[in-house]
Amino acid sequence: MNFTEKEGVRRHKKLRENMAEANIDVLVVYGNNGRMGIYSGNLAYVSNFISFSGQQALVFPLEGEPVLFVGVENQRIEAIRKSWIKDTRCEAMTSVTMQVCDYLNEIGVEGKRVGVSSFSIMPVSWYEQFQQNLSPQEWVDASEMVWKERLIQSDEEIAMSKHSAKLGDAAWNRIRECAQEGISELEIRAEMDAVMLPGAGTENFNMMGLGSMANGGEAPWGYVIPQTDRKMEKGDAVLLEISPRVNGYWNQLVRVLCLGQPESWLTEAYDLVRRARDATLEVLGPDKPMIGLVDAMNKVFADSGREVWPYGLVHLTGLDLTDYMITPKSTGTLKPNQIVTVHPMYQLSPNRQIFWGESYVITEDGFEPINTSSDKLEVK
C-alpha cells in the first residue's frame, strides 16, 4: 500500500502555508527511521519515505523543489521508488550532515530563517555541524509545525490506519487458533508476523507477557521484549500487545488469552480494565475535552481502590504509536479524523500490570472502532 501523489500535494501545500505564516524560508526535517518519538515521524509525513536504518534529512524550501539526502545508495533507490521527493541525493563519501550543509550554502541561507525538525531527536553532532558551517539569520524549532498536522488524518491516512488495525485483528485471531501447550513465546511471535507481514505490515512491534495464573499470577506478569523460548503450559495466560505498522501508520491491540479456566484475580482485573474502557468511551467524541478521557478512566480505577497511573494511558496514534499522550495536563479537545487508542492499565502489584487496548477514529458525530476483535477474555 502506498499514498497517492494527491496526498503528497495536499501535505506540501499545507506545510508551505504554515511556513509562510511562521516566516520560515527553508525547513530541514531530520529523520532517524521514524520508529519512536513523536517527532521522528515528521520526515515520513513530508516525504513518504521511511528507512529502517541510518539517518536522512529533507531540505524543504518555501519556494522551489525539496531535496532528500540519504546516507547509502540503497536508501536513495528505495526513496526514488516510494517517496514524493523527486530529487534524492546520496554522496557515499560525505556524511548526510555535510550534504545538507553544502546544499544549504549552495542555495544561500544567510539572512534567512531556517526551521528545523527536530532538535530534540537530532544528534548533537548535527547541531554542531550546522553551527559551524551555516549562518542563517535565525534557527527556528519547527517540530510542532509539522507534527500538529499529523494529528488529524486525511481519508488516505485513515484508510492506512484501518488496514493496520485489520492486520492486528487477524494476528489476534491467529493466536486464538494456535495457542496451546508447548508453543513458545518466539513461536507465538512468528505466527503473528506470518499473518501481518504478507498483509503489508512493514514492521510490527509486539510485546508479550506469558506467565502462570496460579497464586495471583507469576511475577513479573507483564511485557517481555524480546520474546523467549518459554513454552505455554496449562494454567498460563498470555498478555499480547499487537502493533502492526502499514506504510508508517501504527495500530495497537491488547488482549489476554488463558490456557485453562482463568483464576478469579484475572477475571476481576480484566473486567475492571474493560469497565475503564467503557467509561472512557462515554466521553469520547468530537469537541470533547481530552482530559475527560483520562479523568473517566482513572475514576474507575480509583473507585475500585486501585493504584492510578499518572496519565491513564489514552493516546493519539498514527506515524508513532504515541503521536500524542493524553494526560491530566492536556488542554485540547478531540477533533474528527483523529485516531484514539484507549489503553487502560493499572498495577496489580509492583511487578505486575494488566492491560487492555484498541483504537477508534473520531467522526463528525461520535466515534467508530477500527479494531473488530472481541473484547472478551479468551479462554482455551
pLDDT digit string, tens, across residues 289-321: 999 999 999 999 999 988 776 666 899 999 988
Quick one: pLDDT at residue 220? 42
pLDDT at 36 over 80: no
Question: What mean pLDDT comes out for the span 33-51?
Answer: 80
Provide mean pLDDT across the span 323-333: 91
Q: Taking the domains of the chain in order of start, what are their residue ranges?
A: 5-150, 155-379
Do the beta carbons of residue 323 and residue 317 sit within 8 Å? yes
State which fold the 5-150 domain adopts.
Creatine Amidinohydrolase; Chain A, domain 1 (3.40.350)
pLDDT the model gives residue 61 = 97
Residue type present at position 34: G
Q: How confident is the model at residue 256 (pLDDT cuts 50, 70, 90)?
A: very high
Q: Cell numbers at residue 284, please?
A: 469520547
Contacts of 106 (CB under 8 A, 6+ apart): none
Q: If we measure between CA atoms, which residue out of 213, 154, 160, 166 comes closest to residue 338? A: 154
pLDDT at 353 over 90: no
Range 35-48 average pLDDT: 82
The answer to whether 344 touches 356, Cβ cutoff 8 Å, is yes
Q: What pTM was estimated for this model as a whole? A: 0.92
- For 57, what's the count of Cα atoms within 13 Å in the CB-facing half-sphere? 27
Q: Which residue is listed with cell 517527532?
A: 39
Output the average pLDDT for the chain. Answer: 90
Picking from 86, 115, 99, the residue whose alpha carbon sits closest to that of residue 8 is 86
Residue 221 has pLDDT above 60, yes or no: no
What's the mean pLDDT in 26-37?
Answer: 78
Give pLDDT, residue 180.
95
Neighbours of 181 (CB within 10 A): 13
Residue 25 CB coordination number (10 Å): 21
Which grid cell sits at 120? 530534540
Query: What residues have CB less than 8 Å from 266, skipping those under 6 apart?
Result: 213, 217, 237, 256, 258, 354, 377
Cell match 479524523: residue? 337
Lowest mean pLDDT among 48-52, 128-132, 264-268: 48-52
- pLDDT-derived band at 200 (thresholds 50, 70, 90) equals confident
Residue 366 banded pLDDT, cuts 50, 70, 90 = very high
Q: Could you name the CATH architecture of 155-379?
A: Alpha-Beta Complex (3.90)
